Amino acid sequence: MQHLIELVDLGIALAERSSRADLRRRLEQTKERLLDPSIRVIMVGEFKQGKSQLVNGLVNAPVCPVDDDIATAVPTSVRHGDMPAAFVLTQRSSDGTVESGAPVERREVAPTELADYVSERAAPESDRQVTGAEVFLPRKLLRGGLTLIDSPGVGGLTSAHALTTLATLPSAHAMLFVSDASQEYTEPEIQFLRHAMRITPNVACVLTKTDMYPQWRRVEDLDRAHLRAIDPDIPLFPVSSHLRLTAVETSDPELNAESGFPALVSYLRRDIVGQAELLQRRSTASDLLSTSEHVRLAIDAELGALESPEKTPEIVAQLEATKGRADELRRLSSRWQTTLNDGVTDLIADMEHDLRDRMRSIQREAEDSIDEGDPGPVWDQFVEWFERRVSSAVTDTFVWTQERATWLSEKVARHFTEDEVALPVINVDDTRDVLDAVGEVAELDSGRLGLGQKFYIGLKGSYGGVLMVGIITGIIGMSIINPLSLAAGAVIGRKAYKDDTEARLQRRRNEAKVLIRRQVDEIIFQVGKQLRDRLRLVQRTTRDHFTTIADEHHRSLADSVLAAQKAASLYAAERDKRVTALRRDLARVDALTKRAAAIDIDGSARPSSASPEDPRTVSAVGAARAKAGTAPA
Amino acid sequence: MNLRLLDEADALLDAAETDYRDDAEALRRIREYRRRLGEPIRVAIAGMVKAGKSTLLNAIIGEEIAPTDAGECTKVITWYRHGPTPRITMHVLGGAERSLPVRRDDGRLVIDLGGTPVEEVERVEVQWPSKRLEEVTLIDTPGIASLSTEVSARSASFLIPQDTPSEADAIIYLMRHLHSADLGFLSAFHDTSVGTSATVNALAVLSRADEIGAGRIDALLSARTIAERYRSDAALRSLALDVVPIAGLVAQSARTLRQREFDALRQIARLGRQSRERMLVSVDRFVRSDASIDVSPEDRVGLLDRYGMFGIRLSAVVIRSGCDDSTELADELYRRSGMQDLLRHVSDQFRSRADVLKVRTALTALGALIRQRPGPSSPDLANAIERLEANAHELRELSLLSAARTIGLGLAPEQAADAERLIGGSGTSARRRLGLPDDAPADDVHRSAIDALQRWRMLLGSPLLDRAALEACQVVTRTCEALVVESAPTSVQRSPLRLVQHPEPAVGGGREAQSPRDDAEDEADHQ
């Protein structure tokens, strides 16, 4: 990594010399990326499968709390640090829900006390909620920037966990899907795996607790068969964290080998870290190559004009023509702009339709079940069900929008005929705070009546009955209160009470429907706004991204034209001096180009080149850069 | 009392039979319900895949007959009922029956469908001469949430049918941890089995408790804590009567511990602490051929299959603490497996209520039938059902219990807890209802029953109760009365309270009805 940074520094100096601030900015970003290489690997799976213990086994230290009963409640990230340290992240919250946009407070705690904060048992503080934890450990495995994230299990009773996990996935480079050896994959597990794979393509599966189950090899075979049905390339690692920790305690290399961890560690090193480094390397190389090409264009043009003045008009004409084409890309009415604008408009319309469609089907379902029974007594459970359905529908919409947005930017990129166009970074599918703006569903009257109310309703009915019959019987000379009128009062009172019960039920149903409808409207409104905002952001990012590229091209070509024209008007003596200077610059650029190209070949020559592209051709550089561009930072 | 209930339900079905004599399909169904009333209670064993359903079934029967495997094993619904000789019958979809050969491989039944595809088999019925099965018919079901979706769907539609009552009267639900799929299933079972007369008739079992905490020796202690936590979980509480942890594998194998296995276990227990721990560090280590122990690797594989790591560790501890007899070890393992607890719960919650549960299923079924195919005297039948449901004290207890667990009774919390216990929320024996230890002397039981009765009578008089609470109080008071009567010592003549104010409930038979007359006669003698 160190020599890469040096090279980038060289490139920055070169851009500086040719006074190209735009190129310099780009390289500075590259350097930032190099200085903080964070490769996030997230452990996901159902609860109580041994995810925390797996992290502990990987770093050989009990950093993540392990318990027979209580499951992990918030994500814990473990990364490299010179001294062991632990931090708890808290956010201000009210009534158990985190306020959106509240600042995250980072507080250092003793590593041994971490369990008190991150497990389900943790006592909630009055107004702050723990949203995560960070642990720093001096470990060789983590030095390359590897960050291990222990996530709360999926499928527990608090189903929000599944969404939290899916929400953190887009920011992860890879995911380890953890399941224990007691049984083959279950249907919810495979479903989660399929869902998660749409978000993160880098997936490996881990079979834990092999020390416990005599038949783990059978289970392994069964699991492999299930995985083959999804994607034959997913690797599966049977491991035993218990053996690994025992092996470290007794420093027994044989036991360590039996634990299955060496294979997993080398997979993480070689395939995950290695590949991430390779991508990093490639994107750096391609940044450097394109910078040097841009710089060289001007130098070449000037040099050509100086060395053979008679050809100057020809060179200038050629450059002008290219510049014209590049200018075309810069214009507002250019084709890629149209594609982008149309695409985003379509996308917004589609996504609004999608959201509305999903919400409507939920609403229909909700109304059907309201009609079937009395919503009063079960309102709490009902609201819970409703919220769960809504959040999973919203997640689906966001994931889908992300896919469409990526596809759109690829389509825009096709307008740039050069094959080395990078794609912008798009991050739409993070659903963490989306539903925060939506309020809670209102309370519904549970339908229980007090004795007084019942009495009142009955009385109201019987009063009329007594009066009616009393007056009629009054005609034949009886008093208003007589046995007949009292009997009528009792009958009508009973009927009134019955009618009132039914009317109340009907009213509760209607109220419940109105509440649900209002909530659905609110959700469509709020979430729709969020989605539109994000898509606009996508549009802006994409436009800026491609405009920068177009600008760079334009600037290089304009510089070249200028340089060539200037060269023609130089005196002979100065001309020689200039040629020497340019030759020196050119040599420097060539050296950089060669070294940048060497990085790439260097990287691909390592055994780790698991990526499918052939890295020797220039277009592959472009592809690699495109990949680096879409990989979340 | 129970007999009376059964008789009345039977009479009702008889009346329905005459009513529907022209409707062949309805007649068939009514006859089926009637036959079911005379059979033992049906308890289905359900749960997610690999929860240990067949293992538990074997442990309950006490013989290893149901096949078990590391992969998904049970693929058809299998009934185990009592019969004089072993017999296996396959019921194909559409009604045909076929006898299957009874073959056993190492004790376990080999159910060979003889080329019939699994999808076409409705169920397999195993008749087996076993004492346990005389009182209860067990139904082994394929796991829910399985990757072979049709197998899961089959289980679900069997236990949670759309339009008819469930085939099972009660359910033992196995789970490893409380997964959301478990809750979903339980509430679906609750919903359909509830129908008109509500009840809670599921028992949740934390199976494979031995695997908690990597099979450590204190795994079952942890499991108890977990069960305790689930027991107080509001969601599960409304769906299951109780949560019991068991180590199914240990329970199943302890019943059939062989001398050869005992010898092997003793060898392991006698190893030095260090070498034993090294051997037991993982399953692969345990079966390694170069281990320094005089037990063949095949035997060790067998041990592991039958007892698991937890069972072997536990046996080693038990043997080292002075047990040197295979029967003694078997008893100790069985005692520690938690199986007894489970059986006690089954007998407390299901067997003692068997008739009530069966009657409830029959009444619900008949109600559904009447609604689907109304006949000439359907309203009368419906009324009769309603009357029976309203009058039978046991049925009212059941629905009150369900209400207590779901929507609440409308009483103060401590009163509600008291009521729930009295109507049999934690077991139907008098001592359990009164919250006394199982070995409490009869006098204490009687005294505490009288206390409870007075307490509840007082509450019944309160003018502040709303209707639901008042009904609850009435049911509880009646239960208390029955308890007082039941616990009344035969030799003692006192009891001014007894049946004077409420002579109506005929609970407990003629003995008590006799007593007042005896008193009267005594008085007459004196005069």
pLDDT tens figures, B263-281: 998 888 888 888 888 888 8
Residues of chain A with C-beta less than 8 angstroms from the C-beta of B464: 451
- The full length of chain A comes to 633
Cβ distance of B284 and A186 shorter than 8 Å: no
d(CA B220, CA B209): 6
Res. B526: pLDDT tops 80: no
Cβ distance of A157 and B309 shorter than 8 Å: no
Q: What's residue A433's pLDDT?
A: 60
Q: For the segment B376-410, what is each residue's pLDDT rounded down to a tens digit?
A: 777 888 888 888 877 788 778 877 877 777 667 77
Both A85 and A160 in a single domain? yes
Q: What's residue A279's pLDDT?
A: 78
Res. B355: pLDDT tops 60: yes
The count of other CB atoms within 10 Å of the CB of residue B56 is 27
Scanning the structure block, which residue is given the tokens 């096709």?
Answer: A414
Domain boundaries, given as residue ranges, for chain B: 39-247+339-353, 262-322, 408-526
Both A62 and A194 in a single domain? yes
Q: What's residue A239's pLDDT?
A: 92
Nearest to B50 among A182, A246, A448 (CB): A182
d(CA A165, CA A178): 13
The chain A residue lying nearest B213, using CA atoms, is A68
Both A389 and A308 in a single domain? yes
Cβ distance of A222 and B71 shorter than 8 Å: yes
Res. B500: pLDDT tops 60: no
Res. B486: pLDDT tops 90: no
Q: What's residue A150's pLDDT?
A: 86
In a domain, A24, yes or no: no
Distance from CA of A187 to the nearest CA of B (A): 5
Scanning the structure block, which residue is given the tokens 């960050």?
Answer: A147
Q: For the segment A290-313, what is each residue's pLDDT rounded down to a tens digit?
A: 888 888 888 888 888 777 777 777
Res. A206: pLDDT tops 90: yes
Residue A604 pLDDT grade (very low, low, confident, very high; cuts 50, 70, 90):
very low
Residues of chain B with C-beta less than 8 angstroms from the C-beta of A377: 407
Contact A213, B215 (CB under 8 A): no
Res. A577: pLDDT tops 60: yes
In a domain, A220, yes or no: yes
Contact B130, B62 (CB under 8 A): yes
Nearest to B177 among A47, A187, A240 (CB): A47
Higher pLDDT, A19 or B314: B314
The count of other CB atoms within 10 Å of the CB of residue A215 is 18
Q: For the segment A531-557, what is each residue's pLDDT rounded down to a tens digit?
A: 888 888 888 888 888 888 788 878 888
Nearest to B179 among A155, A211, A222 (CB): A155
In a domain, A483, yes or no: no
Assign residue A120 the CATH number of its domain: 3.40.50.300
Distance from CA of B200 to the nearest CA of A (A): 17
Strands A236-238 and A203-208: parallel
Q: What's residue B71's pLDDT?
A: 66
The count of other CB atoms within 10 Å of the CB of residue A461 is 22
- Hey, what are A44's tokens? 């996901």
Distance from CA of B375 to the nearest CA of A (A): 25
For chain A, the maximum distance between any two Cα atoms, rounded to a whole number of angstroms, is: 140
d(CA B107, CA A202): 47
d(CA A151, CA A160): 12
Query: CATH code for B39-247+339-353?
Result: 3.40.50.300
The chain B residue lying nearest A379, using CA atoms, is B407
Which residues span the domain enclosing A251? 43-259
ipTM of the complex: 0.71
Residues of chain B with C-beta less than 8 angstroms from the C-beta of A185: 147
Residue B162 pLDDT grade (very low, low, confident, very high; cuts 50, 70, 90):
low
d(CA B181, CA B523): 66
B104 DSSP β-pair partners: B109
Please return the burial class of B272, using the count of CB atoms within 10 Å of its CB with bins 0-12, 13-18 and 19+: exposed
Residues of chain A with C-beta less than 8 angstroms from the C-beta of B181: 155, 188
Cβ distance of A184 and B48 shorter than 8 Å: no
Cα A607 to Cα A269, A601, A604, B106, B200: the distances in Å are 12, 12, 8, 51, 62
Residue A220 pLDDT grade (very low, low, confident, very high; cuts 50, 70, 90):
very high
Distance from CA of A146 to the nearest CA of B (A): 28
DSSP conformational letter for A37: -
Residues of chain A with C-beta less than 8 angstroms from the C-beta of B281: 211, 242-243, 246, 255
Cβ distance of A218 and B213 shorter than 8 Å: no
Nearest to A211 among B179, B283, B407 (CB): B283
- Hey, what are B257's tokens? 């511990």
Helix (H) or strand (E) holding B99: strand B97-100
Task: Indicate if the alpha-carbon torsion angle A525, A526, A528, A534 is positive or negative.
Answer: positive
Cβ distance of A243 and B282 shorter than 8 Å: yes
In a domain, A505, yes or no: no
Residue B193 pLDDT grade (very low, low, confident, very high; cuts 50, 70, 90):
very low
Distance from CA of B298 to the nearest CA of A (A): 13
Q: What's residue A602's pLDDT?
A: 55
Where is average pLDDT lowest: A156-170, A268-282, A459-473, B99-113? A156-170
- Hey, what are A446's tokens? 């549970």
Residue A587 pLDDT grade (very low, low, confident, very high; cuts 50, 70, 90):
confident
Res. A618: pLDDT tops 70: no
Residue A120 pLDDT grade (very low, low, confident, very high; cuts 50, 70, 90):
low
DSSP code string of A178-190: EEETTS---HHHH
Where is average pLDDT lowest: A65-69, A579-583, B16-20, B68-72? B68-72
Average pLDDT over residues A595-606: 62
Cβ distance of A184 and B222 shorter than 8 Å: no
DSSP conformational letter for B160: S
Q: How far is CA B376 from the centre of its chain?
A: 38
Residue A127 pLDDT grade (very low, low, confident, very high; cuts 50, 70, 90):
low
Res. A623: pLDDT tops 60: no
d(CA B246, CA B51): 12
Res. A136: pLDDT tops 70: yes
The chain B residue lying nearest A381, using CA atoms, is B235
- Hey, what are B339's tokens? 């199986």
Residues of chain B with C-beta less than 8 angstroms from the C-beta of A450: 466
The overall pTM is greater than 0.80: no
Cβ distance of B179 and A183 shorter than 8 Å: no
Both A188 and A296 in a single domain? no
Both A169 and A234 in a single domain? yes
The answer to whether A211 faces chain B, any CB pair under 8 Å, is: yes
How does A380-410 read in b/e, with b if 16+ C-beta sit within 10 Å?
eebbeebbebbbbbbbbbbbbbbebbbebbe
The chain B residue lying nearest A229, using CA atoms, is B147
Cβ distance of B466 and A448 shorter than 8 Å: yes
What percentage of chain A reaches a pLDDT higher than 70? 82
Both A188 and A327 in a single domain? no
- The full length of chain B comes to 527
The answer to whether A48 faces chain B, any CB pair under 8 Å, is: yes
In a domain, A87, yes or no: yes
Cβ distance of A377 and B229 shorter than 8 Å: no
Q: What's residue A237's pLDDT?
A: 93
Q: For the segment A460-471, what is each residue's pLDDT rounded down to a tens digit?
A: 778 888 888 888
SS (H, E, C) B476-510: HHHHHHHHHHHHCCCCCCCCCCCCCCCCCCCCCCH
Number of compact structural domains in chain A: 2
Residues of chain A with C-beta less than 8 angstroms from the C-beta of B183: 157
Average pLDDT over residues B414-419: 84
Nearest to A246 among B281, B283, B407 (CB): B281
H helical segments located in A62-182: 115-118, 160-168
CA angle B346, B59, B244 (to 5 degrees): 45
Res. A70: pLDDT tops 50: yes
In a domain, A420, yes or no: yes
Both A53 and A174 in a single domain? yes
Q: What's residue A332's pLDDT?
A: 62
Distance from CA of B24 to the nearest CA of A (A): 32
Q: What's residue B110's pLDDT?
A: 80
CA angle A361, A362, A364 (to 5 degrees): 65
Res. A29: pLDDT tops 90: no
Q: For the segment A181-193, what is each residue's pLDDT rounded down to a tens digit?
A: 888 888 778 877 8
Both A357 and A297 in a single domain? yes
Domain boundary residue among A217, A244, A259? Answer: A259
Helix (H) or strand (E) holding A263: helix A261-266
Res. B112: pLDDT tops 70: yes
Q: What's residue A282's pLDDT?
A: 79
Contact A53, B213 (CB under 8 A): no
In a domain, A37, yes or no: no
Where is average pLDDT lowest: A195-204, A228-237, B19-28, B413-422? A195-204
Where is average pLDDT lowest: B49-53, B267-271, B282-286? B49-53
Q: What is chain B's mean pLDDT, rounded? A: 79
The chain A residue lying nearest B233, using CA atoms, is A157
Q: For the segment A347-405, what is each residue's pLDDT rounded down to a tens digit?
A: 888 888 988 898 899 899 888 888 877 777 778 778 877 877 887 788 778 778 878 88
The chain A residue lying nearest B282, using CA atoms, is A211
d(CA B213, CA B226): 12
Q: For the segment B449-475, what is each residue's pLDDT rounded down to a tens digit?
A: 888 888 888 888 777 777 778 888 888
Residue of B151, B155, B180, B222 to mutate for A, most A C-beta atoms under 10 A: B180
Residues of chain A with C-beta less than 8 angstroms from the C-beta of B211: 182, 212
Q: What's residue A567's pLDDT?
A: 75
Phi first, then psi, for residue B380 (nearest 5°) are -60, -45
Q: Is residue B79 classed as helix, strand or coil in its secondary structure?
A: strand
d(CA A326, CA A551): 8
Cβ distance of A450 and B466 shorter than 8 Å: yes
Cβ distance of B287 and A214 shorter than 8 Å: yes
Cβ distance of B147 and A186 shorter than 8 Å: yes
The chain A residue lying nearest B70, using CA atoms, is A215
Q: What's residue A600's pLDDT?
A: 61
Residue A631 pLDDT grade (very low, low, confident, very high; cuts 50, 70, 90):
very low
The answer to whether A227 faces chain B, any CB pair under 8 Å, is: no
Average pLDDT over residues A320-328: 76
